[in-house]
Amino acid sequence: MRTLDCGSMWPFKPKPQPPPRVPAKPTPEMHEEARRNPDGWVYVFDGTFSPNEAVPPERIIGAWKVDAAGKLTDEYKANPNYRGSAI
């Protein structure tokens, strides 16, 4: 008689989340936003939000750093709490 080792199956491990998406290169809209926000950050959202609408933290994919001249730098920070769109 064979036995099944259930100890390695329980507790179930959560399904790994896909890594946050990083745009291949910043869009023209991101560059325009950077010009309006020197020494700040340009955030990348998953979805469409109005200027007065709160963005849930788990819908922020990440952010690009903006230098003092209002230009995007190569520094990008992914949001480790990004969970993707709700279906």
Residue pLDDT, tens place only, 27-63:
999 999 999 999 999 998 888 888 899 989 999 989 9
Q: In this structure, are residues 42 and 30 in contact, taking their beta carbons and an 8 Å threshold?
A: yes
Mean pLDDT, residues 1-5: 51
**Is the predicted pLDDT of residue 77 greater than 60, yes or no?**
yes
